[in-house]
């Protein structure tokens, strides 16, 4: 395969992997709301405690994103993304192992670190791979995963939680993140 064809193939592989990660990113974000009734019952959480699970993620995400963005600008963009995806996959699985509110809160906050790494760097990585003339289409593909992933998060969280329990929902949605970190 000649060099331009290999580069184009590599760019589309990167787009595919990053789109899959983005889909999983939003599945994970929206996994918790349909599980709240089960979490409140199983762990004896109050509505207020359940409500703090989202800000735990968002505050850590907000603080970590600039750090990862700077890291991605200084060297390899793939390493911090892979590390972040691994951290968030492990954190989601750890959410399923939580025995109390503090463990669940910490695991959901840790998800924010992992997702911040991906979101801060992925667009720059794709800009490195595609010419300016293709970026509109590339970002459209990448970002179509946002509403699809959000909807799947609610659906999967509800279905898996109802049929197999809230822990299984975190396990099923966290494991692919660990696998995608290698990709």
Which tens digit of pLDDT belongs to each residue from 78-94? 999 999 999 999 999 99
Question: How much is the average pLDDT of 21-30?
Answer: 94
Sign of the C-alpha dihedral computed for residues 94, 110, 74 and 121 taken in this order? positive
User: 111 near 54, Cβ under 8 Å?
Assistant: no
Mean pLDDT over the full length of the chain: 94
Position with higher pLDDT, 8 vs 157: 157
CA distances from 9 to 2, 5, 13, 16 (A): 11, 6, 6, 11
Each residue's pLDDT tens digit, 90-114? 999 999 999 999 999 999 999 998 8
47: confidence class by pLDDT, cuts 50, 70, 90: very high
CB burial string 108-147: b at 16+ within 10 A, e below: bbbbbbbbbbbbbbbbebbeebbeeeeeeebbeebeebee
Distances from the Cα of 148 to the Cα of 27, 31, 52, 77, 143, angstroms: 8, 13, 24, 25, 9
Start-end of H helices in the chain: 3-29, 32-43, 47-51, 53-74, 78-97, 101-129, 132-164, 166-182
Alpha-carbon distance 29 to 180, whole Å?
17
* Cα–Cα distance for residue pair 159/94, rounded to 1 Å: 20
- Confidence class for position 165, pLDDT limits 50, 70, 90: very high
Instruction: Work out the average pLDDT over 162-171.
Output: 97
């Amino acid at each position: 395969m000649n060099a331009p064809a290999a580069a184009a193939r590599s760019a589309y592989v990167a787009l595919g992997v990053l789109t899959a990660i983005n889909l999983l990113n939003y599945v994970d974000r929206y996994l918790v709301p349909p599980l709240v009734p089960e979490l409140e019952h199983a762990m004896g959480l109050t509505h207020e405690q359940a409500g703090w699970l989202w800000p735990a993620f968002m505050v850590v995400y907000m603080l970590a994103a600039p750090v990862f963005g700077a890291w991605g600008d200084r060297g390899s963009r793939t390493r911090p993304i892979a590390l972040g995806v691994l951290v968030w996959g492990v954190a989601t699985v750890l959410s399923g192992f939580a025995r109390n509110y503090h463990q669940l809160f910490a695991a959901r906050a840790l998800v924010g670190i992992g997702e911040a790494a991906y979101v801060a760097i992925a667009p720059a990585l794709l800009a490195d791979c595609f010419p300016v003339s293709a970026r509109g289409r590339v970002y459209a593909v990448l970002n179509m995963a946002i509403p699809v992933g959000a909807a799947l998060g609610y659906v999967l969280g509800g279905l898996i939680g109802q049929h197999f329990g809230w822990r299984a929902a975190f396990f099923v949605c966290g494991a692919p993140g660990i696998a995608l970190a290698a990709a």
